[in-house]
Structure 1
Amino acid sequence: MMRYDRPVIGLAFCLSGLAGFVDALGFLSLGGFFVSFMSGNTTRFAIELAGRHAGGILLAATILGLFVLGVVGGSLAGHFAARQRKAAVLAFVTLALLVSAGLDTIGFGVAGAGVLAMAMGAENSVFQRDGEVTIGLTYMTGTLVKMGQRIAGALLGGPKLAFLRHFVLWLGLLSGAVAGAVAHGRIGLDAIWLAAGAAALFTMVALFMPERD
């Protein structure tokens, strides 16, 4: 993450905010299941397995599968787009969000919320180099670990503000989640349309950003 310039970090902040927004919508709509935090869903899956709750097992497994499918789709979209990889991945994210919003509109709210996991899986392919994710946008454990390491480095005489980039990414997810919770309380899953609009805007921004990975 340290190798990226400010415009890219700005886009990462916005996309992390989008992930927080969408995850809050999914969490509130699916009764405590996440659509971007798969470590939490794996724990939830294990709990449902231990309790032999067929409905919970099916829902957790479906979300996990859709997330992985989204990663596959986003990675392929980026691969075939070559010079416009970021924009292609974000176009895939936008399409998945539109499908999710459409499903909710015609009365398939749970299915629509589940498809959010596909969008979030794809989003993690935006920043990628040599097949490896360079900035994780929907999960913050690694980001907080790196932030802690940068703080420790600063205390030992290293760069004093190196931790800020990781803090900004975490702050983006937090801010987006707050906005998502507020939006869900007011308009429910209709808020997915807002997420899709934001993703479309970020796609346009990515079109004008140099592709360096």
Structure 2
Amino acid sequence: MQRLPVPLLLVAVLLAALAGFVDAVAFSSFAGFFASFMSGNTTRLGVAVASGLQAEMRTAAALLLGFVSGVMGGAIAARAAGMRAREAVMLLVTTLLALAALCVGFGPRQLGLVLLAAAMGAENAVFSGNGEVRVGLTYMTGTLVRFGQRLADALMGVGGRLGWWRDLLFWGGFVFGTVGGAGAFQLIGDLAIWIAALLAGLLTLLVARMPADA
């Protein structure tokens, strides 16, 4: 994770929590498929190919395509919006989550899952610049690698002694979101997707209130 000012760091943690929430709901509702964890979906695709499980193969492939399409949509929205890129991307994320909730509730249900993946792909463009993602908001493997590296550096007296805390906070936000998403799904089922859309809308308002050059 690139170093961010504290206000932006807190927004990034909240966005990671949103990703965790959505991922947990998708996992609970769609038999172990993910909305943001594309490594998991890629593994499921490979296993499905080797096992000849055509339905799982199609679902995993659709999720991967949906996620990449969302990344592209987020990048296009960010470039088109210029200085207001962050709120434009969050508006796209909110819209995709709301459409996903409608599809899951009224059909076609599988399209709802793909739209969840697209929303998570788009979210990664919130902190982007010059065509590069500054902060990956929906995948934690890299965050844990950086946490481990920086913790090792701190123990060896190399670099900052507290260089690891931001990565730990970011990972903790994602975990908090997964707990919330799983709990919400247990209470209200697929309606939890509407909670995700509401949270995304609130985050859109929060981002819109921040200085464009922050």
Q: TM-score, normalised by structure 2?
A: 0.96
| Structure 2 equivalent of residue 207 of structure 1 | 208
Instruction: Tell me what 2:166 maps to.
Output: 165
Corresponding position of 2:24: 24
Contact residue 29 and residue 113 of structure 1 kept, 8 A: no
| Cα gap change, 1:114 to 1:125, in 2 (>3 Å) | same
Check the 8 A contact 1:22/1:116 in 2, yes or no.
Answer: yes
Q: Is the Cα contact below 8 Å between 1:67 and 1:119 reproduced in 2?
A: yes
Unaligned runs of 5+ in 1: none
Q: Would the aligned equivalents of 2:24 and 2:181 in 1 still touch at CA under 8 Å?
A: yes
| Structure-2 separation of matches of 1:120 and 1:110 | 16
Distance 2:114 2:25 in 1: 11
By how many angstroms is 1:123 displaced? 0.5
* Identity rate, percent: 46
Matched, 1:192 2:200: no
- 1:103, CA displacement in angstroms? 1.0
Aligned to 2:155: 155
Matches of 2:79 and 2:136, distance apart in 1: 18
Q: Is 1:7 paired with 2:3? A: no
| Cα 1:49–1:8 shift into 2, 3 Å | same
Letter in 2 for 1:182: G
Paired letter, 1:138:
T
Query: What displacement does 1:156 show?
Result: 2.4
1:114-193 alignment to 2 at 5 Å?
A: 114-157=114-157, 158-193=159-194
RMSD: 1.2
Displacement over 6 Å in runs of 4+? none
1:174-204 Cα offsets, whole Å, 9 max, x none, are 0100110111111111011111111011111
CA distance in 2, matches of 1:171, 1:81: 31
Distance 1:185 1:11 in 2: 27
Aligned twin of 2:109: 109
